[in-house]
Amino acid sequence: MATEQLAADLVRIKSLSGGEAEIAAFIASHLRAKGLSPKVDGRNVLCSVGKGKRSLLLNSHLDTVPPNSGWSMDPFAAKKAGGKLYGLGSNDAKGCVACMIDAFTSLDVKTLKGKVILALTCDEETGGQGLETVLPKLGKLDGAIIGEPTGLGICNAQKGHLMLKVVAKGKSAHSSYPEKGVNAIYKACEGIGVLRKMSFSRKHKALGLPTVAVTTISGGTKRNVIPSECEFIADIRSTPAYSHDELIRMVKKKLGKGMEVVVHSSRLVPKETSADEKIVKAAKAVLGTSVRGSSTMSDMVFVDCPAIKLGPGNSHMSHQADEYIEISQLKKGVAAYKSIIERFLAP
């Protein structure tokens, strides 16, 4: 019940990316009430327990995306019905945050050989002042658990994220004489058709094949003018089988000289942790399941140590109207996190 209530309290606090100050203050106060000494660093909350040479990071994010227009209820009401907790961020990832807090505060540090660092951070949905900026302050890490909704499945690999802006150039003309111009929107559509048919031959064991999706398109200035320029974003989810540089070259070759390809973002590379690493073995021993890959991006990309992505909830519910998490998953999440910590830092 305590974890369920904490998760509901977190859902009631609006924490869109960039606006996490209130939820950070709430969590810091909650941890102080448990006798701990958290630090609020910007819009991030940091707290550690235990001593020793080895250290384990627990990380999840405090921010959410904005609610979309399809909600049938108040996204901040934290409604409970049918064994589910509804609300913006309930699944992604305030359920994970609540479970990590309760697992962290229930640890018997005297039985641990090492330090546990809880870092609940901002800006995961947009990038910015979150985990990436906090990591240099945490010292050497021997392992990390990234709290994301995986149905308590163990993800030891995740796809990277490469974003390319493609610009199609044409020639403007009056729309009454389209033959006198070159319609850049038509050229962009041809390029999109090429990318839709793009295929890959090298399949990664855990992550499968890369994917390409066009997610935005913009072109034209006036209704009666043939557009001279049209641009679109190609969102590529990459695997270790292809470097980002290789993927960029492949896209440029496919599109040909008539398209300008500009790298919008390429720093979020794929991440993979060997199944032989201690953090993976600890999770497998606790949960009794095998590892798998994840198509979604998370702050796991930033940690320079063996890491897994694991948490209560279902990734397919993330960013959805009427988002929810199964309440039964919360109790299981606390138990899983606590047991993995204890096994990883066992004497």
Query: Which residues participate in catalysis according to the annotation?
Result: 63, 124
User: What residues form DSSP beta bridges with 297?
Assistant: none
Q: Are 98 and 332 in contact (CB under 8 A)?
A: no
Q: Are 341 and 107 in contact (CB under 8 A)?
A: yes
Q: How far apart are CA 170 and CA 183, in angstroms?
A: 5
Q: Residue for token digits 């470097």? A: 243
Residue 53 phi, psi dihedral angles, 5° rounding: -75, -30
Three-state DSSP at 27 gives helix
Q: Are 183 and 227 in contact (CB under 8 A)?
A: yes
Q: How far apart are CA 134 and CA 137, in angstroms?
A: 6
**Terminal Cα distance for the chain, rounded:** 31
Closest CA to 58 of 21, 20, 97, 85: 97
Q: Are 93 and 103 in contact (CB under 8 A)?
A: no
Query: Within 10 Å of residue 188's Cβ, how many Cβ atoms?
Result: 25
Please confirm whether the linkage preceding 93 is cis (ω < 30° from 0). yes
Q: Are 258 and 200 in contact (CB under 8 A)?
A: no
Q: Are 309 and 150 in contact (CB under 8 A)?
A: yes
